[in-house]
Amino acid sequence: MYDINQIRADFPILSRTIYNKPLVYLDNGATTQKPRQVVEAITNEYYNTNANVHRGVHFLSQQATELHEASRETVRRFINARSANEIIFTRGTTESINLLASTFAQSQMQSGDEVIVSVMEHHSNIVPWQLQAMQRGIVLRVIPMDDEGNLLLEEYGRLFSPKTKLVSIVHVSNVLGTVNPVKEMIATAHAHGVPVLVDGAQSIPHIPVDVQALDADFYVFSGHKVYGPTGVGVLYGKEDWLDKLPPYQGGGEMIQHVSFERTTFNELPFKFEAGTPDYIGTTGLAKALEYVSALGMNHIAAYEHELTEYALQRLMEIPDMRIFGQARERGGVISFLVGHIHHFDMGTLLDRLGIAVRTGHHCAQPLMERLGIEGTVRASFGLYNTKEEVDALVVGIDRVRKMF
Ligand code: PLP
């Protein structure tokens, strides 16, 4: 069922060498590699079907429109949304959150109203709210965590007040790997009558997500982190909520009728999709979702879980190893430091061995501050990584350690 050699053969880049060493790609949290199937779907559309969508009467435009809308349906099915009207295509997680922060704050919040986020958010789930804070005087409240990287749920419950208008939390931390109990956290918020946005950038590629089972009001993710192309992503929102929010950007596609006196807006999902959409990107994204669905998200989750357990155990064999994030439930992201070796030096020297890891603050500086460090080395796994690659990482780290 899960034939790792066959899977790896689908990803041409995995067989290349870096400095004459086989590539060990462990930077999947930043972006994932693309299977042949995704690249071919994109090429095929450019070669055979390319035309602007929605507006044309001609054959190609209609075929491109059908493909684009079929991709929306594929996304709907993948996250089990009730309706394709609830799937808004964006440029990615960052744009999805900015869209929501802007339209939600504009229509649902007043000066002094509060948004609850957590200490482990990516900057893209902090700064859009701070922009609204500057413009409209809204206030951020922050859920703390324990030293293992578990959010403190009792503290979370105490953050609610009549001024709380939204909770915006990450599903899986891109630094600690923590899988937050978002279903429970959503239930808590709903008990206070507050809707929840979930940042699914690091969950969608790794675990099955059912937005109805979670009862998430909004759920966002990026195509490029789930083996799809760059420049395309999704904002899922319950139809009732999306209906209440004003348009984000103005332009073509999002209108019903325009005159200089009065403009009326298109219905969902087009109200939020001004201008020519990335219809080639949505084809690639749908193909990527079909690819992971064919493998089975449960199988991917089980495979990556075993790989992560193995990696944690092997990494702990290295003297002076510090791993940040030992949460009760965790995904395949491992942040670490070894002795006093700077994360940048470790990353640079691993690169010379063909091993691609990420170093730095991982766009989570408030979390770094909480951990009392400036940055980490981060290895993050994808569905194609192997125990042999983990072994190569361990050997590589040990070599670097001995050099210092
Ligand atoms: N949220 C999390 C948890 C992430 O890990 C990332 C990217 O690393 C983002 C948001 C932003 O995603 P993008 O840059 O694709 O918009």
**Same-domain status, 204 and 334:** no
Query: Is any ligand 1 atom within 6 A of the Cβ of residue 118?
Result: no
- Choosing from 269, 294, 319, the residue where a domain stops is 294
E strands in 129-251: 139-143, 164-170, 196-199, 218-222, 233-237
Whole-number Å distance between alpha carbons of 213 and 184: 11
**Which of 120, 182, 202, 219 for mutating ligand 1's site (highest number of atoms within 8 Å of CB)?**
202
The finding on whether 205 has its CB within 6 A of some atom of ligand 1 is no
Whether residue 127 lies inside any domain: the answer is: yes
Answer whether residue 70 is part of any domain.
Answer: yes
Within a domain: 35:
no
Q: What is the CATH number of the domain that holds 333?
A: 3.90.1150.10
Residues 112 and 199 in one domain: yes
| Residues recognised as catalytic | 363
With respect to residue 94, please indicate whether it lies within any of the assigned structural domains.
yes
Residues 126 and 94 in one domain: yes
Question: How many Å lie between the centroid of ligand 1 and the Cα of residue 93?
Answer: 6
Instruction: Identify whether 317 is part of a domain.
Output: yes
Question: For residue 90, how far is its CA from the centre of ligand 1 (angstroms)?
Answer: 13
Under 8 Å CB-to-CB from 206, ≥6 apart: which residues? 172, 300, 301, 304, 331, 332
Q: Would 141 be classed as within a structural domain?
A: yes
- On whether both 323 and 209 belong to a single domain, the answer is no
Candidate of 95, 198, 225, 335 to mutate for ligand 1, largest count of ligand atoms within 8 Å of Cβ: 225
Do 85 and 100 sit in the same domain of this protein?
yes
Domain membership flag for residue 148: yes
Look at residues 247, 264, 294 and tell me which one is the last residue of a structural domain. 294
In short, whether 228's Cβ falls inside 6 Å of ligand 1 is no
Are 286 and 324 in a shared domain? no
Residue 186 Cα to ligand 1 midpoint, Å, equals 21
The last residue of one of the domains, among 294, 326, 346, is: 294
Minimum-distance ligand 1 atom for the alpha carbon of 225: 15
- Alpha carbon nearest to ligand 1 atom 14, residue: 94
96 and 244 in a single domain? The answer is yes
Which ranges of the chain have pLDDT less than 70?
none
pLDDT attached to residue 55: 80
Residue 107 is predicted with a pLDDT of: 98
Same domain (yes/no): 221, 336: no
Q: Which residue has the least CA distance to atom 5 on ligand 1?
A: 174
The protein residue with its alpha carbon nearest to ligand 1, atom 12, reads: 93
Q: Tell me, in angstroms, the distance from the centre of ligand 1 to residue 137's CA.
A: 25
pLDDT of residue 1: 78
For 319, the domain range is: 4-30+296-403
* Whether residue 108 sits in one domain with residue 87: yes
Using the mean position of ligand 1's atoms as its centre, give its distance from the Cα of residue 81 in Å. 21
365 and 230 belong to one structural domain: no
Q: How far is the CA of 138 from the centre of ligand 1 (A)?
A: 23
Domain count, the chain: 2
Instruction: Please indicate whether residue 28, judged by its CB atom, sits closer than 6 Å to ligand 1.
Output: no
- Residue 170 CA: nearest ligand 1 atom is 3
Whether residue 203 is contained in a domain is answered as yes
The per-residue pLDDT for 56 is 86
> Residue 92's domain is classified under what CATH number?
3.40.640.10
Helix (H), strand (E), coil (C) string for the chain: CCCHHHHHHCCHHHHCEECCEECEECECCCCCCCCHHHHHHHHHHHHHCCCCCCCCCCHHHHHHHHHHHHHHHHHHHHHCCCCHHHEEEECCHHHHHHHHHHHHHHHHCCCCCEEEEECCCCHHHCHHHHHHHHHHCCEEEEECECCCCCECHHHHHHCCCCCEEEEEEECECCCCCEECCHHHHHHHHHHCCCCEEEECCCCCCCCCCCHHHHCCCEEEEEHHHHCCCCCCEEEEECHHHHHHCCCCCCCCCCEEEECCCCEEECCCCHHHCCCCCCHHHHHHHHHHHHHHHHHCHHHHHHHHHHHHHHHHHHHCCCCCEEEECCCCCECCEEEEEECCCCHHHHHHHHHHCCEECEEECCCCHHHHHHHCCCCEEEEECCCCCCHHHHHHHHHHHHHHHHHC
Whether residues 105 and 161 share a domain: the answer is yes
Whether the CB of 27 sits within 6 Å of ligand 1: no
**Which of 95, 124, 361, 365 for a ligand 1 pocket mutation test, highest count of atoms within 8 Å of Cβ?**
124
Do residues 224 and 337 share a domain?
no
